[in-house]
């Protein structure tokens, strides 16, 4: 689901073939009615495509927080021009919009560079490196990692006990 800042922006996105688009009524226009509609339609993720200005950026932060309260994960995409209507009017295509809204996934080289970033000569750097390695090797979520305790890791059996993870259940994760 794409949430656009205006009816004109939503119509422009619709004109290139995007059908999962809903407008707000400006930067303060994410109404209770719109949020309720998204909840009724069981929307779990949304992309905010607001104007590329300070007001749009601030609104994206506020809308993300408001949608989170309704259990909808939102992320913002900033366009290279003022708004979605201008983007389409300047020749933006369906594929261009899809490229913008598709999350960037790190490749193996990017992940390796990221994991090697902390200075392991310092205690904090060593902690950060260990945490990144655990996240990468096990696939646990950041919230699950935040709840880890020293006693959750069993080095002898190479297992990590993740307590109250997804579904509020404990699970055993192999340490690879």
Query: Residue 150: which CATH number?
Result: 1.10.443.10
Contacts of 49 (CB under 8 A, 6+ apart): 2, 3, 4, 5, 9, 13, 76, 77, 79, 84, 101
**pLDDT (0 to 100) of residue 149:** 85
Q: Please tell me the distance from the alpha carbon of residue 100 to that of residue 3, in angstroms, as a whole number.
A: 14
Asked if residue 43 and residue 118 are part of one domain, the reply reads no
Q: How many domains does the chain have?
A: 2
pLDDT, mean of residues 39-55: 94
- Where residue 165 falls among pLDDT bands split at 50, 70, 90? low
pLDDT in tens, 76-109: 998 999 999 999 999 999 999 999 998 878 888 8
Q: Is the pLDDT of residue 29 over 80?
A: yes
Q: Please tell me the distance from the alpha carbon of residue 127 to that of residue 133, in angstroms, as a whole number.
A: 10
Asked if residue 9 and residue 82 are part of one domain, the reply reads yes
pLDDT in tens, 122-162: 999 999 998 898 888 888 888 888 888 888 888 899 888 88
Structural domain range at position 25: 2-101
Asked if residue 6 and residue 90 are part of one domain, the reply reads yes
Contacts of 102 (CB under 8 A, 6+ apart): none
Q: Which residue has the tokens 């913002």?
A: 76
- Where residue 11 falls among pLDDT bands split at 50, 70, 90? very high
The CATH number for 52's domain is 3.40.1360.10
Q: Please tell me the distance from the alpha carbon of residue 172 to that of residue 159, in angstroms, as a whole number.
A: 6
Asked if residue 89 and residue 131 are part of one domain, the reply reads no
What percent of the chain lies above the pLDDT cut of 90? Answer: 63
Asked if residue 139 and residue 58 are part of one domain, the reply reads no
Residue ending a domain, choose from 51, 74, 101: 101
Residue ending a domain, choose from 50, 79, 101: 101
Residue ending a domain, choose from 50, 68, 101: 101
**pLDDT (0 to 100) of residue 20:** 93
Asked if residue 76 and residue 121 are part of one domain, the reply reads no
Q: Rounded to two decimals, what is the model's pTM?
A: 0.63
Q: Specify the DSSP class assigned to residue 122.
A: S
**pLDDT (0 to 100) of residue 166:** 67
Element (H or E) spanning 12, and its range?
helix 7-15
CA 174 to chain centre: 26
| Radius of gyration over every alpha carbon of the chain, rounded to an integer in angstroms | 21
pLDDT, mean of residues 164-173: 77
The sheet that has 73-76: what strands, in order across it? Answer: 21-23, 2-4, 45-49, 73-76
Mean per-residue pLDDT of the chain: 91
């Amino acid at each position: 689901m794409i949430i656009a800042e205006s009816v004109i922006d939503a119509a422009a996105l619709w004109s290139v073939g995007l059908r999962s688009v809903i407008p707000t009524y400006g930067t303060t226009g994410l109404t209770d009615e719109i949020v309720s509609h998204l909840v009724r339609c069981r929307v779990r993720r949304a992309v905010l495509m607001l104007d590329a200005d300070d007001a749009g950026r601030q609104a994206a932060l506020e809308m993300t927080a408001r949608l989170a309260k309704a259990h909808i994960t939102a992320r913002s995409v900033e366009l290279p021009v003022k708004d979605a209507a201008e983007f389409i009017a300047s020749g933006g295509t369906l594929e261009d919009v899809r490229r913008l809204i598709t999350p960037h996934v790190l490749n193996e080289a990017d992940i390796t560079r990221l994991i090697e970033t902390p200075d392991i000569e310092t205690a904090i750097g060593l902690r950060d490196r260990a945490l990144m390695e655990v996240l990468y090797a096990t696939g646990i979520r950041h919230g699950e990692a935040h709840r880890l305790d020293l006693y959750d890791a069993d080095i002898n059996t190479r297992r990590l006990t993740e307590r109250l993870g997804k579904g509020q259940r404990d699970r055993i994760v192999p340490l690879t």
